[in-house]
């Protein structure tokens, strides 16, 4: 079963997470979601939330960027998913996905929980 890493090369925690996986013998499929050709769709974001245990998208929302993009604190989950799909900077990273499980790599050591 492959390990997928939702990764942003410009993020130190994401880079540390990738390095940690590689140090532990995992060569994940890296999804550079900030690239226009690799952005996450609303359906993919919903699937990630489901794999995290049915959490709200706010569980992996970058709060400080939500303010920058005028995403209201009272926005519905549907609105948050739509905003994340339109503005990938709103997505917290890294996120590890393996099978039917996903985990936010904050701290990056949490990525090892899927091994």
What are the residue numbers of the active site?
Answer: 11
* First CA to last CA distance, the chain: 10
Please give the helix or strand (H or E) that residue 3 lies within, else none: strand 3-7
Q: What are the beta bridge partners of residue 104?
A: 95
Three-state DSSP state, 27? coil
């Amino acid at each position: 079963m492959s390990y997928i890493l939702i990764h942003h090369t410009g993020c130190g925690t994401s880079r540390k997470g990738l390095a940690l996986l590689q140090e532990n013998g995992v060569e994940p499929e890296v999804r550079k979601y900030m690239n226009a050709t690799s952005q996450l769709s609303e359906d993919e974001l919903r699937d990630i939330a489901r794999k995290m245990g049915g959490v709200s998208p706010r569980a992996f929302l970058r709060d400080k960027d939500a303010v920058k993009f005028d995403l209201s604190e009272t926005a519905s989950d549907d609105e948050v998913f739509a905003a994340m799909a339109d503005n990938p900077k709103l997505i917290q990273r890294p996120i590890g996905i393996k099978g039917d499980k996903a985990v936010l790599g904050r701290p990056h050591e949490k990525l090892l929980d899927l091994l």
